Chains A and B, each alone.
Chain A
Amino acid sequence: MGGTMGEPAGGATAGIGDIQAGRLDAATLAANFADAHPPLTPAQAVVEANRCYFCHDAPCVEACPTGIDIPGFIRKISTGNLRGSAQTILEANIFGGSCARVCPTEELCEHACVHTAQESKPIQIGALQRHSVDWLMQRGITLFTRAAPTGRRVAVVGAGPAGLACAHALARHGHDVTVFEARPKPGGLNEYGIAAYKVPDEFAQREAAFILSIGGIGIEYGKVLGRDIALDSLRRDFDAVFLGMGQAGVRALGLAGESMHGVRDAIDFIAELRQAPKGHVAVGRRVVVIGGGNTAIDAATQARLLGAEDVTIVYRRGPEHMAATDKEQAWAQTHDVRIRHWAAPVRLIPGVGARGESVAGVEFARTVLDAAGGLALTGEQFVLRADMVLKAIGQSLAADAAAIPAVRGGRIVVDADRRTSLPDVYAGGDCVAGADLTVVAVQDGKLAAAAIHRQLTGGL
C-alpha cells in the first residue's frame, strides 16, 4: 500500500475544523444509540437455556472471574425460576446486570462453553444472564439484607464496580460503608466510560441504585483522593479502607500540539456522550482514533453513529494484539469504522479553521517488530486527514504515588486478598494489576470485602 493514500501531507485544507453537534436528526440518533443487543424474549431465553448441558465442573464457571454458577442459573431459567436464577448470579456478582452487557463473553464464559468445542455455537450466557437480572430489577425485587450492624466503618474510594461490589458485600455483613466518589454519579466506567448503546436507558444508574438499596452505604460525591481526602485521614477515621478509584489519568501521545482544538481524550468524549443529549455532542467530519482497546472501539463507533463521515482507528500493532476483542473490532467495522494496523502517530498536523488553529491531520509512521520483538518505526509514513483526533492509548493511576500504598508498573500492588502494602488498606479494579474488566473489578471488590470482614471480625 502506498504511503499517503493520495492525501495532502498536512497544511490547511477546506473543511478543517469541521466539528459540530447535531449532524443527525434526533430520530436517527435515538435509533443509532439504542440497545446494541436487544434482550432475549422469554421464549428465546427458554429455548437457549434448554440448550445448556448443565455440565459438571463447568468450564464456563471457571472462565468467569466472579465464578458465577452458570449452569445453575441457566437451569433455573429453563424451569421458570427466574428469581432463583437472578439470585444465583447476583450472589456471585452483584454487577451481574452490567457484566451481562459489557463482559467480553466471547473470551470468557462463552469461549469456554462446551458448545463452542462441539459446534462453535456457545450458549448465549451473557444474554441469559441479562434476562434473569433484568427480570428481577424490573420487578423491584431486593434480594439482599444487612446483617445486624457491627459498628465497624469502612471507607471505599471510588463508586465504580470494584468499590460498590466491595461496599455491598461489607454492608451485607453489617458494616457501615462510606464511599468517596470523584464524579457526581456512581457507577464508575459503567456510567462514564462505556459506549451508550451497551448500557442504554440509564442502566448504570438503575443498577447502582439497586446495589445501594441494601442500605448502610453512604456516598460522598466530588471527593478526589489526594485533593479532598487523604489516605492517612481515611485510615485514621475508618477501620479499613478499600481503594477502587480506577485510572483517572489519561496517557498523552507525547506529540506537539496535543492541546490543539480537535484533539481530545477518547474517554472524555465517551463520558460526554453518556451525560449529554446525543444531539449536543460535537463530532468531526473526519475522525481519527488512536489506540487499540475498547475505548478506541467505543469512541470510534460512537463518532460514526453521531454522524462523522469518515472514522479510522489506527493501532500501532496488529489485530491480534488489540485489547479490543475480535467481536469488538468486527462491531466497529460493521459500523463502517476502518481499522488500520501497524502505524504509530508521529505528528499532529495543524490547520486553520473557523475557530483558529485546529487539527487538520495526523502523520503516522508504519511500524514493525524488530529482532528483539519490540516495536520499531519505519521510515514509511502516511497522513490521515482529520478534524477530530481521539486519543485512546490508555489510562494511568492519577494519584500521587507518595499518598497511596506501594505501586508497581503503575498499579497498586495487592496480594490474593487484595490487601495492599498497608495492612488495613485494600485495593481492586483498574487501579491494581489484572485485566481491566468490570467483572474482574467486581471480583476484586468481593475478595477484598471478604478479607476486610475477616480482619474486622477477628477471623482468619
Chain B
Amino acid sequence: MADLRTSFAGIASPNPFWLASAPPTDKAYNVARAFKAGWGGVVWKTLGEDPSIVNTASRYGAVSYNGVRIAGFSNIELITDRPLQVNLDEIKAIKRDWPDRAVVVSLMVPCTEASWQSILARVEATGCDGVELNFGCPHGMSERDMGAAVGQVPAYVEMVTRWCKQHTRMPVIVKLTPNVTDILAPAAAAQRGGADGVSLINTVTSITGVDLDLMAPEPVVDGKGTHGGYCGPAVKPIALRMVAEIARALPGLPLSGIGGVSTWRDAAEFIAMGAQNVQVCTAAMHHGFKIVEDMIDGLSNWMDGKGYRSVAAVSGRAVANFVHWNDLNLNYRIIAKIDQSLCIKCGLCHIGCEDTSHQAIAALRVDGQRRYEVIEAACVGCNLCYLACPVDGCITMVRQEGPGGVLTWEHHPNNPLRKEAAE
C-alpha cells in the first residue's frame, strides 16, 4: 500500500488532496464535511480586512461541451463575505478538531505592510498550518489593486512575500495567477521573497459565454456581466504547463498543483510534473466531497501497480522529459496503424486527415464494405486519427525504422544556425 502522506512547504497532510481556497472552504461546516469525507487539507477561502466585501447574485458561469456539464467553470465571486473574526474562530475550531489535516489560510489585504502584518498575527493565533497569499484572483479584487493586480507585478509579489515571511513564523505559500506572459517571473519573485512554496494556477481571466438573448456576457448580473476567473477540467493543460515550467526552471521550489484536477489521474500528472500535492475545487463543486475516495485509492492503487512507495517518489518524475522543442528528436518516426478487426467504420480518421491534414488515410470500399487504410508514405505520424478514433486500441501509432540516432533542430541541416556536430 503506497504511502500517500505528503509534506508541502513544510505542511504535513495524510494525503495530497487539498481543497483549494474557494467556496467549498468558506465555512467550518463545509470544511468539517470535507475532512469527514477524507480530504487531506484545505486552503480556507481568502480572508480580507473588515468590513467584509459584498458578493453578487449570479456568480458562476460554465462551459458545457457535447452534453458534458461544467467542462469549464468560471466565477465572479470575491473573497469571503463574512466578518474576519467569524472566520478566525471557525478556523481555530476546525484545526483543534482535525489536528492531522492541513489547514492553510488564504489571505488578501491591501498592499501595505501594516495590513499584512496585522492580519498575519490574528491568523497565526488560530493555530493554522500556514498561509497562502492570494495574488491571483483576476476579477473584482484586482480592480481594488489586490489579487492578480499584485500577482502580475513580480516586484510586488516579492515585496509582499518578504513582508509576510518577516511577520509570521508560519509557512508562506504564494498562489500565482496564470494571467501573465511568463509564469517564471512571479514564481522567481516569490522565491526571492522567501516563499516556502508556490501554488498554481489561480483562475484564468475569461468570459464563459454570451447570453444571446440578453446580449450580455455570462454570468449575467442584472443584464450585465464582467470577466470572471476560469477553472475546471478545461484549464488543466494550461495549469500543467505552468507547473512544469516552474519545476524545470526553479528546482527545489515546492509546488502545489491547481487547475482542473478532477481525478487521481489528473493528480498523478501534476505530481509527475513536479507538484508535491494538488488542490481541487471545481470537481468538488460539481460532484461533492465524496470524489476524494476514488482520488485516494485510485492514486494508491496506481502507485502500487507502478511500485511507487510514496508521493515523493512520483513527484517530478516527468520533469526531466519536459524539454524545449529544440531538444526533440527529429529522427523519431511513427505512423498510424489501424486494427481492422476493431474498426467500426465511422470514418473520422479519414475525414480529419483528408480535410485538414495529410491525406494519409484512404477511404476504400472492398466488396462494398467500408475500409479505411493508412497510406504509410503520406502519414507524418501526427496522432490526429489516433486521437479522433472513438475505439480504444483501434488506431495505434507505431514506431518506424528511421535514420536512427537523435537529430535535433540544433543540428538539423535545414537550420541556418545549426551547430556542426563535433568530430
Co-assembled chains A and B: yes
Residue of chain B at shortest CB distance from A53? B346
Smallest CB–CB gap between A71 and chain B, Å?
Answer: 10
The B-contacting residues of A in range 33-68, CB under 8 angstroms, are 46-47, 50, 53-59
Binds A, one of B180-188, B225-233, B347-355, B399-407: B347-355
Q: Does A78 contact B (CB under 8 A)?
A: yes
Interface status of B66 (Cβ within 8 A of chain A): yes
Q: Are B350 and A56 in contact (CB under 8 A)?
A: yes
Determine if A354 is an interface residue (Cβ-Cβ < 8 Å).
no
Asked if B351 and A56 make an inter-chain contact with CB atoms under 8 angstroms apart, the answer reads yes
- A149 CA to B351 CA in the complex, in Å? 42
Contacts of B66 in A (CB 8 A): 50, 78
Min Cβ gap A134→B in Å is 21
Q: Is A255 an interface position by the 8 A CB rule?
A: no
* Contact of B390 with A by CB under 8 A: yes
Determine if B328 is an interface residue (Cβ-Cβ < 8 Å).
Answer: no
The answer, among A54, A56, A78, A117, for a CB contact under 8 Å with B67, is A78
CB < 8 Å neighbour of B344 from A54, A56, A114: A114
A118 on interface, CB distance cutoff 8 Å: yes
* A55 neighbours in B (Cβ, 8 Å): 345-348
- B-side interface residues, number (CB < 8 Å): 13
CB of B370 within 8 A of chain A? Answer: yes
**Cα distance A238–B5 when bound, in Å?**
89
Q: Is B387 part of the contact surface with A, judged by Cβ < 8 Å?
A: no
Residue in B67, B345, B351, B363 whose beta carbon sits within 8 Å of that of A114 in the complex: B345
Is there an interface contact between B363 and A57, defined as CB atoms closer than 8 Å? yes
Residue B391, interface by CB 8 Å: yes
- Distance in angstroms from B352 CB to nearest chain A CB is 8
What residues of chain B lie closer than 8 Å to A47, measured between beta carbons? 67
Q: Is the CB of B67 within 8 A of A57?
A: no
Please report the C-alpha to C-alpha distance between residue A117 and residue B66 in the assembled complex, in whole angstroms: 22
Q: Are B391 and A56 in contact (CB under 8 A)?
A: no
Residue of B nearest to A117 (CB): B344
Chain B stretch 372-396: residues in CB contact (< 8 A) with chain A: 390-391
Q: How far is the CA of A114 from the CA of B348 in the complex (A)?
A: 11
Report A-chain residues with C-beta under 8 Å of the C-beta of B350.
56-57
A58 partner residues in chain B, CB cutoff 8 A: 346-347
CB distance from B47 to the nearest CB of A (A): 41
Provide the bound-state CA to CA distance between A115 and B345, in Å: 10
| Chain A residues in 8 Å Cβ range of B344 | 114-115, 117-118
CB within 8 Å: A-B pair count: 38
Q: How far is the CB of A79 from chain B (nearest CB, A)?
A: 10
Q: Does the CB pair A56–B390 fall under 8 Å?
A: no
Give complex CA distance A229, B347 in Å.
51
B210 smallest CB distance to A (angstroms): 15
Cβ B390 vs Cβ A57 within 8 A: no
The smallest C-beta distance from A92 to any residue of chain B, in angstroms, reads 20
Q: Give A59 to B370 CA distance when docked, in angstroms.
A: 9
A101-126: CB near B (< 8 Å → 1, else 0) gives 00000000000001101100000000
Kindly provide the distance from the CB of A310 to the nearest chain B CB, expressed in whole angstroms: 44
| Neighbouring A residues of B370 by C-beta, 8 Å | 57, 59
- Alpha-carbon gap, A59 to B365, bound state (A): 12
Choose from A46, A50, A78, A117 the contact partner of B345 (Cβ within 8 Å).
A117
**Cα–Cα distance between A57 and B345 once the two chains are bound (Å):** 9
Contact assessment for A118 and B390 in the assembled complex, using a CB-CB cutoff below 8 Å: yes
Chain B residues near A114 (CB, 8 Å)? 344-346, 390
Residues on A with beta carbons closer than 8 Å to the beta carbon of B348: 53-56
B contact residues around A56 at 8 Å (CB): 346-348, 350-351, 363
Complex formed: what's the CA distance from A54 to B363 in Å? 16
Q: Nearest A residue to B389 by beta-carbon distance? A: A53
- The smallest beta-carbon distance between B260 and chain A, in angstroms, is 21
Q: How far is the CB of B341 from chain A (nearest CB, A)?
A: 11
Determine the distance from Cα of A56 to Cα of B66 in the docked complex, in whole angstroms: 18
Q: Which residue of B lies closest to A50 (CB)?
A: B67
How long is the Cα–Cα vector from A138 to B320 in the complex, in angstroms?
Answer: 62
How far does the alpha carbon of A114 sit from the alpha carbon of B342 in the complex, in Å?
11
- On chain A, the residues within 8 Å of B351 by CB distance are 56
Scan B325-363; emit 1 where CB is below 8 A from any A CB, else 0: 000000000000000000011111011000000000001
Closest to B391 in A: A118
B363 proximity list for chain A (CB < 8 A): 56-57
Measured in the bound complex, the distance between the Cα atoms of B67 and A67 in whole Å is: 27
**Chain A residue with Cβ nearest B343:** A117
Q: How far is the CA of A51 from the CA of B382 in the complex (A)?
A: 26
| Residues of chain B contacted by A53 (CB below 8 angstroms) | 346, 348, 390
Q: Which residues of B contact A78 (CB under 8 A)?
A: 66-67
Distance between A377 CB and nearest chain B CB, rounded to angstroms? 39
Question: What is the distance, in angstroms, from B73's C-beta to the closest C-beta of chain A?
Answer: 19
- A46: B residues at CB distance < 8 A: 67
Instruction: Name the residue on B nearest A54 (C-beta).
Output: B348
Hey, which chain A residues are within 8 Å of B346, CB to CB? 53, 55-56, 58, 114
| Chain B residues within an 8 Å CB radius of A59 | 345, 370
State A78–B67 Cα separation when bound (angstroms).
8
Chain A CB within 10 Å, residue with most, of B346, B347, B363: B346
Within 8 A of B (CB), among A399-433: none
Q: Roughly how many angstroms separate A53 CA and B351 CA in the complex, as a whole number?
A: 12
| Least Cβ–Cβ distance between B411 and chain A, in angstroms | 40
A232 CA to B344 CA, complexed, in Å: 52
The docked-state distance in angstroms from the alpha carbon of A391 to that of B172 is: 88
A118 contacts across to B, CB distance below 8 A: 344, 390-391
Closest approach, in angstroms, between the C-beta of B63 and any C-beta of chain A?
14
Chain B residue with Cβ nearest A116? B344
Per-position contact with A for B54-97: 1 when CB-CB < 8 Å, else 0? 00000000000011000000000000000000000000000000
Chain A residues at the B interface, C-beta cutoff of 8 Å? 46-47, 50, 53-59, 78, 114-115, 117-118
A54-B348, A56-B347 provided; 6 other pairs, C-beta below 8 A?
A: A50-B66, A56-B363, A58-B346, A59-B370, A78-B67, A118-B391
27 pairs, A vs B, C-beta closer than 8 Å: A46-B67, A47-B67, A50-B66, A50-B67, A53-B346, A53-B348, A55-B345, A55-B348, A56-B346, A56-B347, A56-B348, A56-B350, A56-B351, A57-B347, A57-B363, A57-B370, A58-B346, A58-B347, A59-B345, A114-B344, A114-B346, A114-B390, A115-B344, A117-B344, A117-B345, A118-B390, A118-B391
Chain B interfacial positions (CB closer than 8 Å to A): 66-67, 344-348, 350-351, 363, 370, 390-391
The 5 closest A-B pairs by CB, nearest first: A56-B347, A56-B351, A50-B67, A114-B344, A117-B344
